[in-house]
């Protein structure tokens, strides 16, 4: 059962939970267990659990920030987009 976030309906709750699950499929961090307002250093991983790049994830009550190295932005964004397509097909 999803957590109820203040001032948000069930649909927004679902979308927020969906985003957390997607992001958790890309990194080694348990984002669901992070406290609201906290940040963590993590890494993007590939299918073999190899490290693609490091990232910082910030969790807020209604959104997530994902910050990666600007020098690797194209590579990281391509990886995220590919994985999003795969995730949406599931």
* 26-82 pLDDT tens trace: 999 999 999 999 999 999 999 898 999 999 999 998 889 999 988 999 999 999 999
- Report which DSSP code applies to 44: E
In whole angstroms, give the CA distance from residue 34 to residue 44.
17
Structural domains of the chain sorted by starting position, each given as residue range(s) with its CATH number in brackets: 4-89 (3.30.70.1400)
Q: What's the rounded Cα separation, in Å, for the pair 89 and 10? A: 22
Q: Which has the higher per-residue pLDDT, 22 or 90?
A: 22
More reliable by pLDDT, 6 or 2: 6
Question: Sorting pLDDT into bands at 50, 70 and 90, what band is 14?
Answer: low
Task: Give pLDDT, residue 1.
Answer: 40
Q: Is the pTM of this model over 0.85?
A: no
């Amino acid at each position: 059962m999803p957590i109820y976030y203040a001032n948000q309906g069930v649909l927004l709750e679902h979308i927020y939970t969906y985003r957390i699950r997607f992001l958790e499929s890309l990194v080694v961090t348990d984002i669901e267990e992070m406290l609201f307002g906290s940040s963590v250093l993590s890494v993007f991983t590939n299918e073999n659990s190899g490290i693609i790049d490091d990232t910082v994830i910030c969790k807020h009550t209604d959104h997530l920030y994902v910050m990666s190295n600007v020098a690797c932005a194209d590579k990281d964004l391509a990886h995220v987009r590919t994985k999003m397509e795969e995730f949406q097909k599931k």
